[in-house]
Structure 1
Amino acid sequence: MLQRFNINRLILAFVLTGLSLIFGMAGFTYIEHYGPVDAFYMTVTTVATVGFGEIHTFSEAGRLFVSFYILYNLVVVAYLVSVFSSFIFDGELRKIYRMIRTDQEIKRFSGHVIVCGFGRNGRRAYQELRASGARVVVIEANQELMKNITEGHTGEDYDGDGVPGGNIYTVFGDATTDLVLKQAGVERASALITSLPKDADNVFVALSARALNPRLKIIARASLKTSESKLLSAGADSVVMPDEIGGSHMAKLVVRPEVIRFLDLISGLSADKLRLEEMTFAQLRKDLHGRSIRELDVRSITGATIIGLRKADGSLLVSPGVDYVLAPGDVLLVLGSEEQIETFEVRFRQL
């Protein structure tokens, strides 16, 4: 928002300068009966305070007009100089150029993910998405926060290069407004995550985003259980309550610690993490269509394990039988190490 404010200041400075020129020409034309060229000449020399002299001696009304006109332009020129000084010495021109370039790049995005709000949940979602190779656009109102993050002041790495900070495609503004959502390319996006602090704002984002893109997948954060139904009614596909998940996670560490440690391996919260991947029937190599799980022999070939299968009708099979034959619409859920999943992708995914 600060950069938008500075652009508005620059526009205001140009508007005031233009009005000053129009006002001066009108005064010299009406009071001293100058022609357009002479009126423009006198206006410019008066504003610039160069003192070349009058074309002819001013009348009493003309002298009063010029006196007040000079005082008015002292204020306008001082404001214009202050704005330009800020842009030149504070690097505002460079910031505006970077913002315009980012806007142009975002306009070329398609199938990307939008993250609304860059708090703890938003940052974690961004990192997971980028680690998965997704293209992400962030909507955040706090420009100072994004500056600290991208410059590495928080110590977090967002490029995966081991260096704190990183280049984050950001749209600054209020995510609840249609204009800002459109700037982030919501009409071309594949998914949106709204993790704003207030549930009411998340409801509004879900409602607006769904109206702008009916095919969009929307994941919303909620603090209160009562907000879940409102978010689903507003258009969210799924609702996540971090506080509830966190409390449940801590309790299960007491009663079922090994189960939670295993889940941490899958979720990437542990150092020796596992990877849970999915592959649809359409992504499977065509020569493998019509084969059973036994015939695919994923375990022997890759070391990874098929732990689940979602059928086309939406039902979920846990540890599906080896004689099950894959059908269109099915989705395989495969668990393994990073290397095992990469081998699975190479051997089984359609190129």
Structure 2
Amino acid sequence: MKWTHDWVTVRASILLTFAVAVLSIIVGLVHISTGGVDSALAMYVPDGVRRAVGFTGTLTGFTMLGSAYALKQRFRVGWYATAILLPITAIQGLLQVSPFSVPLVAVSVVSVPALFYNRTRFDRTFSPSPTQLAAGIALVTALSYGTFGSYALREEFDGIVTLTDAFYYTIVTASTVGYGDVTAAPSSELGKLFSISVLLINVAAFAVALGVLLTPAIEAQLSKALGRMTDSQFNLLDEHVVILGYGDLTEPIIENLSDSVQFAVITTDESVARRLSDRDIPVLTADPSDEEPLQRAGIADARAAIVATENDAKDALAILTARQLNDEMQILAAAMQRENVAKLRHAGADRVISPSEIGGRLLANSAIGKRDAEAASQQLLGEELD
């Protein structure tokens, strides 16, 4: 395998970041629950620091899950967040001075060069939608209302002395857990009314935020049902092959590409698109001769395009469009009519084959007993040679 293409890839950076996040959470929870396992270096780290990094390590892990998701979406902010969090997880692992933290430190260190190697790949700017902004503002406002309001009215409550107590009360009330350790004073009508308002406002804010989080998942399912690629599938395409159109040759092409390279299919046939989507094949229902679907499928970053339908005229238009959008990639085509081979080359295809001519030659050579023709036929069909 080539190091630059098969190992140090965008996907490797994302998977390593997820691995660090999960390890940080697990190691932090183990450290909190067991109090840490002493090692030879434990005497050099104060107990208070070790307990603190166990708790903060878990928080860092959950934060890194968010940055890993941002990396998956190719957001630049996700790259910056991960670049900051990786050294933090490594330092936290070192300060925990536990055998359990060794994998965390090792994976964190390994993740850094992969992340920096692919820094140019994470170039999307994060532009939150109005709905996302509204959800974020509503959530922050609701929590602030509960925290500062309860602190200002702390005389009306039993158990609120500091801002930390007020924040704790707000979170417990908003989550409808209600431990009962911080409550409005029995004789305080104002405290009771404020508690009701905190509950209603925060539950509504959390409901809005949850809706915003679930909307992309719902859209992904709808896209799959309609035979369309999701944004996450688009963003992960890199050095891939774009198959323009769908014909009799497309399935063999897909079978041969599946185990070796990423690819996406653009077709106008909605039923075909749904079948491909059910097989988790990235597919876009659109005209492959239009610029917009080719751009969405990442034609600018593609290593090659394959055009092989039963309509040479439409294939020529698709080749022209693809060549205009990427003049460096390989374009491979199949001409159904032998006389159209030269025309598809003039349209911009680098290589053009005629399946009928190839098949005819193989059959003729096999008929007259040429061994090499039979061997070539068996190799093309994936059969074992006699």
The TM-score by the shorter chain falls in which range? 0.3 to 0.5
Which has the larger share of strand?
1
Computing the radius of gyration from Cα coordinates, the structure with the larger value is: 1
Using structure 2 for the length normalisation, give the TM-score.
0.40
Which has the larger share of helix?
2
Using structure 1 for the length normalisation, give the TM-score.
0.44
